[in-house]
Amino acid sequence: MKISLKTSQTSGSALIVLTDAKQIESKEFTAALPQLATLIEATQYKANLNEILPLIGLNQHYPFCSFIGLGQDDELNASKMAKLAQSIIQLAQRKYATLDLDITHLPASLHYVFTLALTQANYAFDEYKSKKNEAQLEHIHLIGSTLSENQIELIHAIQSGQNLARDLGNRPGNICYPEYLAKLAQELADEFPDQLKVTVLDEQQMADLGMNAFLAVSQGSAHAGRVITLEYLPNREEAPVVLVGKGVTFDTGGISLKPSANMDEMKFDMCGAASVLGTIRALCEAKLPIHIVGAIAAAENMPSSKATRPGDIVTTMSGQTVEILNTDAEGRLVLCDTLTYIKRFNPAVVVDIATLTGACVVALGKVVSGLFSSDDDLAQEIQTAGEQSFDRVWRLPVMDDYQELLDSPFADIANIGGPHGGAITAACFLQRFTRDYRWAHLDIAGTAWLSGANKGSTGRPVPLLMQFIANRSQHD
Ligand code: BES
Ligand code: MN
Ligand code: ZN
């Protein structure tokens, strides 16, 4: 969906005007149009937040015209923008291709997150439905927006990257498997040949590098694993930001098999990888001048006669040995070797993104992603980007005191830490492989997808990652 700016109301098929309570109560406002005063009086319209008042036949320039309430100014915040955007999209979607939207009365500080929320609300996924959704909203003209052309361009790029991440998350495991992700990365590089360089490691190459923790996950599956790297602006000299995504295209748990209920949702276990691909796509479109590497650990976790057994011990690429006590703690196994592999890019900072633990969902629910880092400056940078893009995180500790929970009697480290602090011990496991660079870990198990009525991938944290990168590209 395209967003563009317009200075005033003109004419078209549909107009929505955001109104606040003060405006509705003002005598001057209603005096201009007596019928409007009658309508407001008759319907007792108060312009409460999300309250709709259709003005059919009252605006000669727009056959469809409606007010949507903003309530009281001082009660508005970024959280409320998502619902507001949904109400607006619901009114217009499947009816109009273009919409004029007057946001003059929305506080300017909310224009950015609100506009981003419009693009997010307009997403629909019908790839596998025989009967397709009716026409989507294609174009919104914002009236009274304070956004700059640069901000609009950034929003367009984020939309494109986030929608890609959502599409990938929503595609099932029989279609979206490691090789598929590698093919998609290659296609992205073909589309942006001047900006992107893609490399793909197959399992033989991984074996040669000693990535045995990774291979312990993919060995049970008929679909071979892949490590995919996408280097954005490979010719830039500065040390890159490296984004590492967990790409478990389906997580059955392996021999430590998961229960059947809701196991279908484990097709979303590649949402970290999807957010990396989405961010790289957004970067190519926004053309930000900054050196970024995306790395994807793509594998399928299956039980079979070739699958890893609980108790198996492997030597990771870093040389540390791991006792795999639970084959369902597979994310950290594919990630640890990928986090060692990406050292060759000499990263300035590394951020990994993973649907890593159910414990993180228990701790933080579906509102914020878990942020783990022992680097306060980096953590602060990510938190700030989360607030700016309304794709928020909450910091949890990674302290050495938790490391002993990962002790193993037989190897250097176990891959699970027992029942306490599961999200933290998972982060502590990764930390053992990231001591050579500045690092942060995002556990997106709660935020990457929704269940229930709105089931589907959210495309988070593409907005956060793009904001983080955009902030950095301005400073450098
Ligand atoms: N992909 C899951 C994490 C997950 C679980 C995400 C539920 C979203 C919802 C991960 O691979 C996993 O299975 N983690 C285990 C770790 C445990 C065995 C230490 C978990 O969280 O139960
Ligand atoms: Mn698992
Ligand atoms: Zn998993």
CB distance 417 to ligand 1 below 6 Å: no
Would you kindly state where each structural domain of the chain is located, as residue ranges?
Answer: 2-143, 159-475
Report the alpha-carbon distance of residue 9 to residue 18 in Å, rounded. 13
CB distance 310 to ligand 1 below 6 Å: no
For residue 261, report the distance from its CA to the centre of ligand 3, in Å. Answer: 15
CB distance 251 to ligand 1 below 6 Å: yes
For residue 126, report the distance from its CA to the centre of ligand 3, in Å. Answer: 26
DSSP summary character for residue 309: P
Q: What is the dihedral of CA 438, 443, 447, 450, to 10 degrees?
A: 150
The tokens for 40 are 């407001």
Buried b (16+ CB within 10 A) or exposed e, 74-88: eebebebbbebbbbb
Which of 257, 301, 353, 357 has most ligand 1 atoms within 8 Å of CB, for mutation?
357
Buried b (16+ CB within 10 A) or exposed e, 338-351: bbbbbbebebebbb
CA-nearest residue, atom 22 of ligand 1: 358
For residue 237, report the distance from its CA to the centre of ligand 2, in Å. Answer: 38
CB distance 355 to ligand 1 below 6 Å: yes
CB distance 360 to ligand 1 below 6 Å: no
CB distance 76 to ligand 1 below 6 Å: no
Order across the sheet with 321-324: list the strands: 312-315, 321-324, 413-414
Ligand 1 atom closest to residue 417's alpha carbon, by position in its atom list: 19
Domain 159-475 class, CATH top level = alpha beta
CB distance 443 to ligand 1 below 6 Å: no
CB neighbour list of residue 175: distance below 8 Å, 6 or more residues apart: none
Q: What is the pTM of this model?
A: 0.98
Report the alpha-carbon distance of residue 304 to residue 64 in Å, rounded. 59
For residue 266, report the distance from its CA to the centre of ligand 3, in Å. Answer: 7
Ligand 1 atom closest to residue 248's alpha carbon, by position in its atom list: 1
User: So which residues are the catalytic ones?
Assistant: 258, 332
Q: Report the CATH superfamily, name and number, of domain 2-143.
A: Leucine Aminopeptidase, subunit E, domain 1 (3.40.220.10)
Ligand 1 atom closest to residue 355's alpha carbon, by position in its atom list: 6
CA-nearest residue, atom 9 of ligand 1: 358
Identify the nearest ligand to the CA of 299 by its number.
Answer: 3
pLDDT tens sequence for the chain (476 residues): 999 999 999 999 999 999 999 999 888 888 888 899 999 999 999 999 999 999 988 999 999 999 999 998 888 999 999 999 999 999 998 899 999 999 999 999 999 999 999 999 999 999 999 998 877 899 999 999 999 999 999 999 999 999 999 999 999 999 999 999 999 999 999 999 999 999 999 999 999 999 999 999 999 999 999 999 999 999 999 999 999 999 999 999 999 999 999 999 999 999 999 999 999 999 999 999 999 999 999 999 999 999 999 999 999 999 999 999 999 999 999 999 999 999 999 999 999 999 999 999 999 999 999 999 999 999 999 999 999 999 999 999 999 999 999 999 999 999 999 999 999 999 999 999 999 999 999 999 999 999 999 999 999 999 999 999 999 998 65
CA-nearest residue, atom 6 of ligand 1: 445
Ligand 1 atom closest to residue 253's alpha carbon, by position in its atom list: 13
Report the alpha-carbon distance of residue 366 to residue 448 in Å, rounded. 8
Ligand 1 atom closest to residue 326's alpha carbon, by position in its atom list: 18
Report the alpha-carbon distance of residue 358 to residue 353 in Å, rounded. 15
Residues 459/467, Cβ–Cβ less than 8 Å: no
Identify the nearest ligand to the CA of 357 by its number.
Answer: 1
Q: Which residue has the tokens 């090789």?
A: 179
Report the alpha-carbon distance of residue 183 to residue 204 in Å, rounded. 18
- 34 CB neighbour count, 10 Å cutoff: 9
Q: Give me the residues paired with residue 15 across strands.
A: 65, 100
